[in-house]
Structure 1
Amino acid sequence: MAEPLLQVAILVVSDTAYQDATTDQAIPILQNVFVEQGQGKWSVSTTDIVPDNKEAISNKVRSWCQDGHNLVLTTGGTGFATKDNTPEAITPLLEKQAPGLVHGMLAKSLEVTPFAIMSRPVAGVANGTIVITLPGSPKGAKENLEAIIKLLPHACLQAAGMNSRTLHAGGVKKLEQDAGVASTVGHSQAHHHAHGHAIPRAHTQPQDRPKSNDPVAGPSQRYRESPYPMLSVQDAIATILQHTPKAKEITIPVTAGLVDYIIAEDVPAKEAVPAFRASIVDGYAIVITEDGSSKGVFPVASVSHASSDTVPPLQVGRIARITTGAPLPEGATSVVMVEDTILKSTTSDGTEEKEVEILTDAVKVNENVREVGSDIEQDSIILRRGDKIGPGELGLLASVGIAMVKAFRRPIIGVLSTGDEIVQHDRPESLKLGEVRDCNRPATSSVLQSAGYSTIDCGIASDSCDILVTSGGVSMGELDLLKPTIERTLGGKIHFGRVSMKPGKPTTFATVRVKDNNGNDQEKLIFSLPGNPASAITCTNLFVLPCLAKFSGHDIAMSSDEPLGKQLGRPRLTVLLEEVVQCDKSREEYQRATVRSGNDGRLFASITGGQRSSRVGSFQRANALVILPAGGGKLDKGSKVEALLVGSFA
């Protein structure tokens, strides 16, 4: 059984990042170090940002140490500036100092710049947790972490109380081998020619630099096993979000096309609503005198409709007929409902009211009147940065006269199926031997469109895509050419090529650097999904949608304690199984299921038949993906599990 991952918490200490989290670069950079150099031993479970405040730093780190994290990293506040208080906040918490870790970090930094000597890092153990302070510079923090990351698992296990005799069994050489480091003893003799010239040596291990099959080498030379490390689903999602670019602001008109966009700025009301004193009933505008009297017979001086351009002022002793929503005449104090009046006389031609009797004396000043700004005050904030636009928000913007608004740009998504065996799904001819109809492209597109995103056919406009979603060609066959094409032809970087899940194990995520129309570097994201339909649809819901949500700005206003990957994309629910279900021994499994609401308000999930990854029919009637933990064994009927909701339920 695989060893549990070591839990990491990262704390950014910065007034600037605390006020605007989008300015922080340290968290994604440090997370990436754990993904790329952590040898699959780490999980970044918690991140946060606090201001340059000693008490805030101390309280957060103390809390994390009490929660049982193996490693707590802080970044920022280790210099000589007045507000640099991180060492002073951390040191009182430490039960044991770790000067060796400090020395290792400083030695690495001094290779880069002499100014590293100005840093004041501290490290040690607090409540069984290793605590280390890193510089505020993302580059410096990365260099410091890289200098010690391979040694940290050993330190964390010792700090957590693991038996030292067991931990050191096999001696130092075995410890070095397990950590992927080597002693420098005898280095100059072992690595020099007789003439004293150093032999070049790689600074990474072969397992740390996987490479896809080389198609030129031929099928006999292809890998029999994937060179890519197996990532957990959550680590895969975290990697995707690290490389998803920050949402970019655009200015967009307030039209129906604004629906589903995320607002990029606080929006003040341009006008008050209502912009004038208005009646909330059909009746008569009156002027209540100082004695409070409103009862009696009054001549009708004017009429005010909702479409009135001008309404003459109203004098004491006269009334004006008024409709709901119409402006009150100047001087009017109140509106009497029509039900509280009777007609006393008409004009000579009988077409208009001449006199009306008000039957009540109980009408008060401002009764039945909607005052200026009573719904929305001018300059008040009507939408906040991070709000999503729906029909109601669109109407709100329109009601105060806003024509343009800043929003976060939504991604352009290209969808592509690969494979010589793939033919158009609507081709009228019968299939030939080996041919397969393309169901992935329409199915994947429908998943994205149902979540509110537009897709395009890559054969038409592939150059304009921000994100490319492909299916097929990512497994281990000699004709699975997606990974080699990305790495060897496009010069891209594959961030992961395998995920510990079922279905969808060969799912691949990569980035490719290209030039935009102005010659500037930009990064395009590529999701290469498996060719089996159930795998492609599952991975679109699980991996692509959180990326699109972050790209579109959905993460701006999120503050939940849940990891960002669980907040973005499809909602997650707790459901009760309606049958006994077998779990996979080694991989987390996402089974297609129908979720329904019971009479008692609880949610129940029923698996929709066979779960083979090529069996697209099991998606019929499925509105959820039930998440089954790895480890084998069975889950009984009534067991609680988590489900990813991919459709509506009754």
Structure 2
Amino acid sequence: MSAPLKAAILIVSTTAAKDPSTDAADAALRDVFEQEGGGRWDVVESKIVSDVTTQIQRQITLWTDATEPVNLVITTGGTGFAVADQTPEAVSVLLHKQAPGLVHGMLASSLAVTPFAMMSRPVAGVRNQTVIITLPGSPKGARENLQAVLKTLPHACLQAAGADSRALHSGGVKKLELEAGPTTATTTTARVSSALIGSVLASDIHAPAPVPAFRASIVDGYAVVVPPGGDMRGVYPVVAVSHASASGGGGGEEDEKVLKEGQIARITTGAPLPAGATAVIMVEDTVLVSKTEDGAEEKEVEILAEGVREGENIREVGSDIAEGSRVLGKGEQVTAVGGEIGLLAAVGVGEVPVYARPVVGVLSTGDEIVEHDRAGGLRLGEVRDTNRPTLIAAAREAGYEVLDLGIASDKPGTLEEVLRDALRRVDLVITTGGVSMGELDLLKPTIERALGGTIHFGRVAMKPGKPTTFATVPVKDNAGERVSKVIFSLPGNPASALVTFHLFVLPSLHQMSGISPPGLPRVPVVLSHDFPLDKVRPEYHRAIVSVGSDGVLSATSTGGQRSSKVGSLKGANALLCMPSGPEPLRKGAKVEALLMGSLRSDL
């Protein structure tokens, strides 16, 4: 392995310059380099300066203009809108080359987490032989931004340092992408069978052979050699028979007999044409004149057709699918009804590259939760586990393998052990319960402190589902490589858990398995009655959407929407995207609906 690349960290903070103990960004960034840098980085130095342009520029140039410059300078802090935030302006004038792609990568990653990312003003580029990137001041934001671009930085730094571009690109783009690490979706190979249903193709599929592979008849009838002018009227001897079966008794182009003008051959639909044949006459345009002595075959047939053209009723080689043509595209999903499997089978493709579908684990938490099918009645304070079987069913219906992780008690050690085991076995963990503000809610501290994870958000301004939490945890895969696994901690109330599954978990599963666009399909609907609105939060209202005789989609509420009310999801096939407001939305108003199931019909 080549020598590690040298990185330096500059903390821009007047507060930290006075008291270095207040800074947490340095440790967070060093952890990213160590845990996710693939052993390619050596953080050689870190410094703290005040929010002063001259101090920022002086320290950066000490690193970049030296006889042996560092490969990468990371600054953190001073990228916001505050009066004292000067880092982007200080760095911009130092750059010899701009790197807008790195800026876009960081912003795109952050915007997927919080809309406040648009308030950051990062810059990136090259000075001399050093790549320079500015990151936000918060440890969380700095960490996320560095993670977004870290995999591509070795290549950028080597180019900036003067490495030979031809050598760097010798393995092609695919090699560089492989070195840059996995994307949100990983690929595998799958056999063409019913197990392929629901998978998304990871590359274009081209036909290895033409369809049809031979000249074939479109109809039952007689193969002929069309004379000049196309007048086929007359009586002709039947000299051969061609069946669609490969063992059907001759007539293929491989036969020695070549059909000549004045001769005809009996042929069935899909059978190969005899050599020399130029058209097929439908049996409806013929009259049987005589049979062979044993009566088994036609001997002579009168043809009534005139104006026959060469190629009539013939499927030429590759006329359906040409050899080498693209039959399915990267990103297309294999469905049970769309004919994709039949198309792959027709061209002789036995295996295809697909995006691997993540394995999901579902865990319930809380000492009060008991198995839903436990014999006997409930003791005071006990609650039957409604969410786990519901979420397992929903994830399996969406096409994903699901592991039942059971129930974890409200004990820190137990919860940590269960989650560690789960993250070794699955790609995405769904938990329910344990994310509200109660004293016994241990999930968030377990993720952050015990597992070293990052909580990207823990409260959402929506109804239901306010305490929904999304986190990633670094773990080692079977190959010993460090990867990030996903945890979605959903509310304990049954309606909230299922709604947030469809709004947050399902789109993430789609993203991980290559489905685009991710998430539930959106359709416009008309309200069939007045709908009350929450005064503060936007609401995802459980509803039944049906299509009327006029083709209009109308929405009807399933009733009371309390988040603990399991019955509000019975029969629901949609979530209505309702705004907050003081007054109800009236009958006839139009809103967007997220379809969870098939449409009802009022016809």
TM-score of the pair, normalised by structure 1 = 0.63
Task: Mark the CA change 1:643 to 1:378 in structure 2 (over 3 Å): closer, same or farther.
Answer: same
In the alignment, which of 576, 579, 586 is matched to residue 629 of structure 1? 579
Change in 2 beyond 3 A, CA 1:325/1:106? farther
The equivalent of 2:358 in structure 1 is 411
Q: Secondary structure at the match of 1:416?
A: strand
Cα deviation digits, residues 415-448 of structure 1 (max 9, x gap): 1111111122222322222211111011112222
Whether the aligned pair in 2 keeps the contact of 1:281 and 1:337 (CA below 8 Å) is yes
In structure 2, what is the equivalent of residue 649 of structure 1? 599
Conservation of the 8 A alpha-carbon contact between 1:585 and 1:632: yes
Specify the code of the residue in structure 1 equivalent to 2:485: K
Q: 1:337 aligns with which of 258, 277, 282?
A: 282
Alignment equivalent of 2:235, drawn from 288, 297, 317: 297
Alignment of 1:40-79 (within 5 A): none
* 1:373-429 Cα distance to aligned partner (Å, 9 max, x none): 110000011111111112411111110111111111111111111111112222232
Out of 403, 427, 436, the residue aligned to residue 466 of structure 1 is 427
Shift of 1:136: 4.1
Aligned 8 A contact 1:244 1:547 in 2: no
Question: Structure 2 matches for 1:463-502, cutoff 5 A?
Answer: 463-502=424-463
What SS is found at the alignment partner of 1:526? strand
- 1:206–1:295: structure 2 CA closer, same or farther, 3 Å change rule? closer
- Alpha-carbon distance between aligned partners in 1 of 2:276 and 2:192, rounded to the nearest angstrom: 37
More displaced 10-residue stretch of structure 1: 299-308 or 356-365: 356-365
Cα deviation per residue 1:304-340 (whole Å; 9 max; x = unaligned)? 1101344243222211100001000000011111111
* RMSD, aligned α-carbons: 3.6
The equivalent position to 2:512 in structure 1, one of 540, 544, 551, is 551
Shift of 1:632: 3.0
Distance 1:591 1:514 in 2: 37
CA deviations 1:510-544 (Å, max 9, x no partner) are 01111112221111100000010000000000000
Instruction: Summarize the Cα distance change of 1:319–1:153 in structure 2 as closer, same or farther, 3 Å threshold.
Output: closer
Q: In the TM superposition, what is the alpha-carbon distance from 1:611 to its structure 2 partner?
A: 0.8
Q: Does 1:328 align with 2:273?
A: yes
Q: Output one character per residue of 1:244-274: Cα deviation in whole Å (capped at 9) or x when no partner.
A: 9521121221121111111111111011000
**Structure 2 letter corresponding to 1:531:** G
Residues 1:447 and 2:394 aligned together: yes
2:328 alignment partner, one of 378, 383, 390: 383
CA 1:375–1:469: 2 relative to 1, 3 Å: same
* Structure 2 unaligned residues grouped into runs of 5+: 1-50, 74-78, 80-87, 93-97, 122-135, 144-180, 407-417
SS in 1 for 2:523: strand
Per-residue Cα deviation, 1:119-154 (whole angstroms, up to 9, x for no partner): 9xxx9xxxxxxx9986347389869x99xx999969
In structure 2, distance between residues paired with 1:372 and 1:548: 42
Indicate whether 1:522 and 2:483 are aligned. Answer: yes
Distance 2:361 2:71 in 1: 49
Offset of 1:208 from its aligned partner?
11
CA contact (8 A) 2:541 2:578 kept: yes
Among 180, 184, 187, the residue aligned to 1:246: 184
Residue 135 of structure 1 corresponds to 99
Counterpart residue identity of residue 384, structure 2: R
Normalising by structure 2, report the TM-score.
Answer: 0.68
Q: 1:357 to 1:153 in 2, by over 3 A?
A: closer
Residues 1:412 and 1:141: Cα distance change in structure 2 (over 3 Å): closer
Question: Aligned residue pairs: how many?
Answer: 448
Deviation of the 1:102 alpha carbon: 9.7
Unaligned runs of at least 5 residues, structure 1: 1-99, 124-130, 156-180, 182-202, 210-242, 556-566
CA gap 1:602/1:338 in 2 versus in 1, 3 angstroms: same
Q: How far did residue 599 of structure 1 move?
A: 2.8
The equivalent of 1:127 in structure 2 is none
**For residues 399 and 605 of structure 1, do their structure 2 counterparts lie closer, same or farther at Cα, with a shift above 3 Å needed?**
same
Matched, 1:278 2:239: no
**Matched letter for residue 445 of structure 1:** I
After superposition, residues 22-41 of structure 1 pair within 5 angstroms as none
Counterparts of 1:317 and 1:411 in 2: how far apart (Å)?
65
* In the alignment, structure 1 residue 426 sits paired with structure 2 residue 373: yes
Tell me if structure 2 keeps the 8 A contact 1:109–1:116.
no
